[in-house]
Chains A and B, each alone.
Chain A
Amino acid sequence: MRAMTRELLDKQLHELFEGLLSMGGMVEKAIERAIQALVKRDTRLAQDVIDEDAAIDKFRWKLEEECLRLLATQQPMATDLRTVGAVLSILADVERMGDHAEGIARIVLRIADQPPLKPLIDIPRMARKCQEDLHLVLQSFINHDVEQARRICAEDDEVDALYKQVFSELLVIMMGDPRTVDRATYLIWVAHNLERIHDRITNVGERVVFMVTGRLEELNV
């Protein structure tokens, strides 16, 4: 009887993990498509990203509800308890990453009718790093891989450095020609959104460490 209860809990946890991975996949796609829309000045694609964010939000609530139901019905302890606690926190972070992707798509709608300021290099690079690391950090969650989680958190500095680079580059352009201020500011916002996404990825990494070790550590301040 006990073993069956345990099996049910394992099944519920497994479903939760699958849900979290799907949600992560949706957000990865949103980041990719938001940047694609920016590069191609594709307002239809940008609008799609905005529309699909509602689905991500809805999915998050569904998974959160499953966590709460699991807490209420299974009253998990120890690793199980930390796992559900970690999922609750990760859901919020991943959903917020989706919001940042949506934010980028909204910027695309505002600047699509203006000529490009410069070829985009570092911003797509930042976006790729975010996509990859989001994928890796969720993988480290599923595999309980603390080392991988720590590594991703350590790489947050790389994204911060890229952000600073974008920022100073755009600053130089703005100083050279005040007419570019509007477009450059929007691009800084885009980069800022990406930088924040990677911060959230770091949060997820911290939760992975917490889930496995039981200790909350700030991994990249």
Chain B
Amino acid sequence: MLDIRGLAKLAQERSPGQSDEKKGRGKGITVESLNAWYGSLHAIRDINMNVLPNQITAVIGPSGCGKSTFIRCLNRMHEVIPRARATGRVLLDKTDIYSPETDAVEIRRRIGMVFQKPNPFPTMSIFDNVAAGLRLNGVRGRGRLQDVVERSLRRAALWEEVKDKLKESGVALSGGQQQRLCIARALAVEPEVLLMDEPASALDPVATLKIEDLMRELRDEYTIVIVTHNMQQAARVSDFTGFFLSGEDRSGELIEFGATGELFTRPKDKRTEDYITGRFG
């Protein structure tokens, strides 16, 4: 098992600006013996991982290694696919998200998700896109909504660019702006964790760097888990990295997990070394 205290200490050394008093709302996630299937396909096998609060954890690995499946299991998005199922334990702080008493909708509020392709609601204005989740959660009142929308857009570093056109359609924005709009939408419901599945892979380099800057800012308040096949991106933005790889039977496994600086300069597992130095395939 990984020594969580050692990791936490490492993470703290890496980010001296973040002291104990300045803890954000981010919560940690503990994954124990997580397995997931699509019908008979065993997609991920026996994953154990500690996602630390207010840190960015990157998940890397070749296509088909189960990394997207893995993060979709973290907010019960995996089970929405027909014939998909998961076993094992996933604890959000102390809440077992797979316990029968736990409400999946509430879990998805606490653990927000941003997808590869920006997906603003096409018929809605910028304002309504951000307010959508709030309205679903029963928040009413123009003043209250306005406050949250502005705060969320500011957190997503989009406010200055859209404050004069909040009534315009969300799809009229550029790809990078649309992605930040989706991040604002996810932040509006006050999540504790943000899952990002390839959030920048459809964006140009400038928009990508904006998203990465934003991630680092958001880290103070949220826990972030990002799936990326861009290793340089994982190396740039994350505090911890997990490397997934599928074995002979196509089940994805967590091969190595550690502080990002370590994993990319001196990986412990030969398979990690081979993957990150491009010796695969």
The residues of A with any CB-CB pair to B shorter than 8 Å are 2-3, 5-6, 9, 75-82, 214-215
Let me know if B278 and A214 touch, CB within 8 A. no
* Distance between Cα atoms of A79 and B267 in the complex (Å): 9
B40 contacts the other chain (CB 8 A)? no
Q: List 12 A-B contacts (CB under 8 A).
A: A2-B281, A5-B278, A6-B277, A6-B278, A6-B279, A76-B277, A78-B267, A78-B273, A79-B277, A81-B264, A82-B266, A214-B265
* Distance between Cα atoms of A3 and B279 in the complex (Å): 7
B212 to chain A, nearest CB (A): 15
**Chain B residue contacts of A76, Cβ below 8 A:** 277
Partner of B278, one of A2, A82, A215: A2
* Distance between Cα atoms of A6 and B279 in the complex (Å): 7
A130 to chain B, nearest CB (A): 31
* Distance between Cα atoms of A81 and B235 in the complex (Å): 13
B232 contacts the other chain (CB 8 A)? yes
A213 to chain B, nearest CB (A): 8
* Distance between Cα atoms of A77 and B233 in the complex (Å): 13
**Chain B residue contacts of A78, Cβ below 8 A:** 264-267, 272-273, 276-277
In the complex, besides A78-B277, A82-B265, 14 extra interface pairs with C-beta distance below 8 angstroms are: A2-B280, A2-B281, A3-B281, A6-B278, A6-B279, A75-B232, A78-B265, A78-B266, A78-B276, A79-B277, A81-B264, A82-B266, A214-B266, A215-B266
Let me know if A77 and B279 touch, CB within 8 A. no
B190 to chain A, nearest CB (A): 37
B231 to chain A, nearest CB (A): 7
A78 to chain B, nearest CB (A): 5
Let me know if B277 and A77 touch, CB within 8 A. yes
Let me know if B278 and A81 touch, CB within 8 A. no
* Distance between Cα atoms of A57 and B264 in the complex (Å): 32
With a 10 A CB-CB cut-off, give which of A78, A79, A81, A214 has the most chain B CB atoms.
A78
* Distance between Cα atoms of A76 and B277 in the complex (Å): 6
Partner of A9, one of B232, B266, B267, B278: B278
**Chain B residue contacts of A82, Cβ below 8 A:** 265-266
- Residues of chain B from 225 to 281 with CB closer than 8 A to chain A in the complex: 231-232, 235, 264-267, 272-273, 276-281
* Distance between Cα atoms of A81 and B232 in the complex (Å): 13
**Chain A residue contacts of B277, Cβ below 8 A:** 6, 76-80
**Chain B residue contacts of A3, Cβ below 8 A:** 281
A73 to chain B, nearest CB (A): 12
* Distance between Cα atoms of A81 and B276 in the complex (Å): 10
* Distance between Cα atoms of A82 and B267 in the complex (Å): 11
B73 to chain A, nearest CB (A): 28
**Chain B residue contacts of A5, Cβ below 8 A:** 278
**Chain B residue contacts of A9, Cβ below 8 A:** 278
A13 to chain B, nearest CB (A): 11
B63 to chain A, nearest CB (A): 12
Nearest neighbor of A6 in chain B, beta-carbon distance: B278
Nearest neighbor of A75 in chain B, beta-carbon distance: B232
A129 to chain B, nearest CB (A): 33
With a 10 A CB-CB cut-off, give which of B273, B279, B280 has the most chain A CB atoms.
B279
B263 to chain A, nearest CB (A): 9
With a 10 A CB-CB cut-off, give which of B265, B267, B272, B277 has the most chain A CB atoms.
B277
With a 10 A CB-CB cut-off, give which of B272, B276, B278, B279 has the most chain A CB atoms.
B278
B115 to chain A, nearest CB (A): 26
Query: 0/1 per residue, B86-119, Cβ < 8 Å to A?
Result: 0000000000000000000000000000000000
A125 to chain B, nearest CB (A): 39
* Distance between Cα atoms of A81 and B266 in the complex (Å): 9
* Distance between Cα atoms of A78 and B280 in the complex (Å): 14
Partner of A79, one of B231, B232, B235, B273: B273
**Chain A residue contacts of B266, Cβ below 8 A:** 78, 82, 214-215
A14 to chain B, nearest CB (A): 15
The 10 closest A-B pairs by CB, nearest first: A214-B266, A77-B276, A6-B278, A78-B273, A80-B277, A78-B277, A78-B276, A77-B264, A78-B267, A2-B281
* Distance between Cα atoms of A75 and B265 in the complex (Å): 12
**Chain A residue contacts of B272, Cβ below 8 A:** 78
B270 to chain A, nearest CB (A): 10
Let me know if B265 and A81 touch, CB within 8 A. yes
**Chain B residue contacts of A215, Cβ below 8 A:** 266
B265 to chain A, nearest CB (A): 6
Query: 0/1 per residue, B1-25, Cβ < 8 Å to A?
Result: 0000000000000000000000000
